[in-house]
Amino acid sequence: MYPNRIARVLLGLIALAIFCAYTYYHGSVSPRTRDLTGYSWGMLGHVGELQHILPDSTPQGEITAAEPQEEPSAEAPAVEDPASEEPEASAETPEPTVDPESPYGKALANAAARGLPTPPQIDIYDWSMMLVNGEHSIDQYAPAQLAYLNQTADEMDIQYNHNDNRCPVDERIAEALLSMARGCRDAGLPVFLSSGYRSYSDQAANFTRVCQNNGVTDGKDGAGHYITMPAGCSEHQTGLCCDITDIYRPIKNSEIENTQTFQWLKAHCAEYGFVVRFPAEKADITNVMYEPFHFRYVGTEVAAYMTENNLCLEEFLALYGVE
């Protein structure tokens, strides 16, 4: 019995030896993960990320290690919502260019050529820019509404019903004219609104009378300057002007420039929108004799520019292409 047991033990040892030898041989020829070319343990975050490891030299395509993905840092700044960002300051809107053929474009060019400051940007077709002279007739034009002012500015009310005892003017200049007259009085000087609006027929009668009194037929003096205007060519017909003296004077001439009233009006009229319409030094341009008593409304902006640059109305409007 003992021999049989010994035989079985020997057979078991032989089988164990054979098994161990097989196991050793199989393990030595099989590929191991760490034996793969280019492999690094650091390339994997987890063992399961390596895929398609094939035996020996039979890869299906190239084996590439997955790029490690960085965990978001707790300190990384949060991405701002684009909608919450403040909009960038937009570029400044360029100023529109001025058409050189427009009235203002011409005024800019003409003023620069004459060495004058930038002229005001105005509407030359506005009522306050109405040009009336020997070459520009308004025919039988009449203001839409007249206003009647106290001639000595003792009373500050403005009336709109016809009144022969008051001075009529276009109602659009009434307040400015009355304020100027009152300013003169407040300065301690007398003022008299001598002559404002004249109708076409009134101017026709005035033209005939003055021509007869001066022995002329065309209304001009020896120098070729108008001493009275034909009907349709007088500024008085616009109602935008007024002859202003210190007291009532049946005859108005250049001597009025010596009065304190004229000196004050000349110095301050632009503040109220008025200019001395026919200066002595501009007679060859206006073709009208010097009238220190004739004040024309053009608005404060234009009056200031004309006064500061010694321009008559013809010169001013010529800047804008009015001939």
For residue 126, the one-letter residue type is D
pLDDT for res 171: 98
Q: 146 forms bridges with which residues in the sheet? A: 170
SS3 316: helix
| Distant-in-sequence, close-in-space partners of 260: CB < 8 Å, separation ≥ 6 | 189, 246
- What angle do helix axes 260-268 and 174-186 make, rounded to 10 degrees? 130
In this predicted model, what pLDDT tens digit does every residue of 137-164 receive, in sequence order?
Answer: 999 999 999 999 999 999 999 999 999 9
pLDDT for res 270: 98
pLDDT for res 69: 52
Q: 239-261: string of b/e by CB count within 10 Å (b at 16+)?
A: bbbbbbbbeeeeebeeebeebeb
Put simply, whether the predicted model's pTM sits higher than 0.75 gets the answer: no
pLDDT for res 43: 40
Cβ(186)–Cβ(179) under 8 Å?
A: no
Pairing of β 192-195 and β 241-245: antiparallel
* pLDDT mean by block of 10 residues, the chain; 323 residues: 64 71 56 44 40 43 46 50 54 78 97 98 97 97 98 97 98 98 98 98 96 95 96 98 97 96 98 98 98 98 98 98 94
215 in any annotated domain: yes
Domain that holds residue 107: 103-319
Distance CA 95, CA 206 (A): 51
> Apex CA 220: angle with CA 217 and CA 224, to 5°?
130
Cβ(268)–Cβ(247) under 8 Å?
A: no
Closest C-alpha to 308, from 282, 254, 270, 279: 270
98 in any annotated domain: no
Backbone angles phi, psi at 74, to 5 degrees: -65, -25
Distance CA 213, CA 158 (A): 35
26 in any annotated domain: no
Phi-psi region of 188 (alpha: psi -120 to 50; beta: other; left: phi over 0): left
Closest C-alpha to 179, from 163, 197, 156: 156
pLDDT for res 8: 74
283 in any annotated domain: yes
Cβ(255)–Cβ(288) under 8 Å?
A: no
CATH code, domain carrying 170: 3.30.1380.10
How many domains does the chain contain in total?
1
187 in any annotated domain: yes
Distance CA 108, CA 19 (A): 112
96 in any annotated domain: no
Distance CA 278, CA 262 (A): 14
Q: Specify the length of the chain in residues.
A: 323
Reading the block at residue 78, the tokens are 């949060």
Distance CA 160, CA 164 (A): 12
